Each structure stands twice: as structure tokens, then as C-alpha cells.
Structure 1
Amino acid sequence: MALTMIRLFRFIGLIEGITTLALFLVAMPLKYWFGMPALVPPVGMIHGAAFLAYIVAMIACLWGRGFARGEWARTTIAAFVPFGTFLNDPFLKRKQLLDEARIA
């Protein structure tokens, strides 16, 4: 099965979510609780790149795929909320399956 654009976007969303968790649950606690700030800059930079990739991919991958305004808003807000991309993924999976059925 070919890689659909929504599937690609879901993968990027997964990476963005993982980097968010790495920043909030690993790097920042090490900095603030244990006085070890070394991981914050590299993890923060990786997360920043993943966040930008998410926003760019959202536009490139989802444009013209039948997303309503509220669905665009939901998917955008997911990038700003911890666990948001994970919570939004089942919705994207349903959209992906509909998109794949339309293509087939």
C-alpha cells in the first residue's frame, strides 16, 4: 500500500509528540530538579524542528483532503498541547482510512 499523505502526517505527529514528551518529561526535570541543564538545548532544538515539520506537513499533507475548519483547528491545537498529537491521532487515522478508500 502506498504511503498516503495523511499517514505521513501522522508519522510526523508521532515524532512531534515524542519530542514534546522528551523535553517535558526528561530534559526539563533534569534541569530543574537535578541541576543538569545539558539536555535542554539539544532536545529543545530537535523538538522545535519537529514542531515546524508538523506545521509545514499539516499544510502540505492535509490540504485538499476534506478537512473542515474545526478539524484544521483541532489538528493545529494538538501541536500546542502535551499529548495533543497522540489524542488527535485516532481522528487522523479515521480520515486516513477514508482517504485511502477514496483513492482505491
Structure 2
Amino acid sequence: MLKTFSITAILEGVSYLLLFGLGMPLKYLADMPEPNIYIGYAHGFLFIAYVALAALLTLERKWGFKMFAILFIASLLPFGTFYIDKKYLKPMLAVE
């Protein structure tokens, strides 16, 4: 499940950047709301998947609330999930 979470973290980060780096400027500067709808749906799905997997992994690995809080806060920050993947997930995957 750790590999799945790692992939979800990267995809969630990419969708976040696409939403705010591409979707919002197209919506408000170019008056093109359509791409924002689809990017928003994808981001919403990936965000929910990321948080659900973070909760499951926290319980499965007995990480504690502090680690879950770190994972959750990272999902709200640009590039946060990339940081989590590099700092926490990749080293764990290398050991497994």
C-alpha cells in the first residue's frame, strides 16, 4: 500500500499544480472555465484518495496523529506531496 500511496501523492501534487497553475488562469484570465472543471474533478478525487490512504497507512503502520497531520498539511501546500514522497516515502520504499 505504501507504493500506491507514493504514486497517489505524486499524482495529487501534479493535479494541484495543474489546477492552480493552468486551470485557474484559464478560467479567470482567458474566460475558459471548461478545463478547470475536469482538472478540478481529478484533483478532488486524488485529494480524497490521498487523505484516505494517509489515514489507512497511519493506522496500518501505527505512525500516530503527528505523522497523519504532517501528511494532511502537505496535501494543502503546493509541492507538499512531492516533499512527503521524497523525505518519507522513498526511503521507506527503498527499505522494503
Q: Distance in 2 between matches of 1:94 and 1:66?
A: 17
Task: Tell me if structure 1 keeps the 8 A contact 2:8–2:49.
Answer: yes
Number of equivalenced pairs: 95
Runs of 4+ in 1 over 4 A off after TM superposition: none
Equivalent residue letter for 1:42: Y
Bigger helix fraction: 2
Q: 1:57 to 1:6 in 2, by over 3 A?
A: same
Unpaired segments ≥5 residues, structure 1: none
> What percentage of residue pairs aligned between the two structures are identical?
35
One-letter amino acid matched to 1:95: M
The amino acid of 1:34's aligned partner reads A
TM-score, length of structure 1 as denominator length: 0.80
Q: Does 1:23 align with 2:22?
A: no
Could you state the TM-score of these two structures normalised by the residue count of structure 2?
A: 0.86
1:53 offset after TM fit, Å? 0.7
Alignment partner of 2:40: what SS?
A: helix
| TM-superposed deviation, 1:57 | 1.3
CA RMSD of aligned residues (A): 1.6
Return the alpha-carbon distance in structure 2 between the equivalents of residues 30 and 67 of structure 1: 40
Task: Give distance in 2, aligned partners of 1:8 and 1:97.
Answer: 14
Mark the structure with the bigger radius of gyration.
1
